[in-house]
């Protein structure tokens, strides 16, 4: 899964939202994962959302992603969090869409890049 997500060894990462402990452990095998909110912007931020209201947190999370970094929004499939709502919220927070992939048997991961100045 980390290969599919493009996670390289030694990058800085953080997780926001309810992500299972198994993924946290998996990510820690390649990345330096911040415990809680990172002090400095990270190269990759995984943000798990369970409903559309969670997307309101994107403007607060955007500064945690380094310029040129990646935001992955992890969502269960279906109408609870439509892809169109994810794309609109990420764009409004300063990210550009870069595609999506299967995160797990039950979740999709949407990739966004943070543009530089």
Report percent pLDDT > 90 for the chain. Answer: 75
pLDDT digits (tens, 9 = 90+) for 37-62: 899 999 999 999 989 999 999 999 99
What pLDDT was estimated at residue 81?
A: 87
Assigned token pair, 68: 């040129």
What pLDDT was estimated at residue 10?
A: 94
Distance CA 3, CA 51 (A): 27
pLDDT digits (tens, 9 = 90+) for 54-89: 999 999 999 999 999 999 999 987 667 888 999 999
E runs forming strands in 1-117: 12-16, 32-33, 42-48, 65-75, 95-102, 108-114
Give the torsion sign (CA, 72, 4, 99, 83). negative
Vertex 104 angle, CA 85 and 55, to 5°: 25
The whole-number average pLDDT for the span 14-36 is 91
């Amino acid at each position: 899964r980390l290969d599919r997500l493009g996670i390289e060894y030694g990058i800085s990462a953080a997780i926001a939202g309810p992500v299972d402990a198994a993924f946290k452990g998996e990510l820690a095998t390649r990345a330096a994962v911040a415990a809680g909110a990172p002090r400095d912007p990270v190269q990759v931020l995984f943000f798990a959302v369970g409903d559309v209201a969670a997307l309101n947190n994107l403007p607060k999370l955007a500064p945690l992603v380094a310029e040129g970094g990646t935001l992955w929004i992890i969502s269960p499939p279906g109408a609870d969090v439509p892809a169109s709502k994810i794309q609109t919220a990420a764009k409004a927070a300063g990210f550009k869409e870069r595609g999506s992939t299967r995160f797990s048997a039950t979740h999709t991961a949407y990739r966004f890049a943070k543009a530089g100045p």
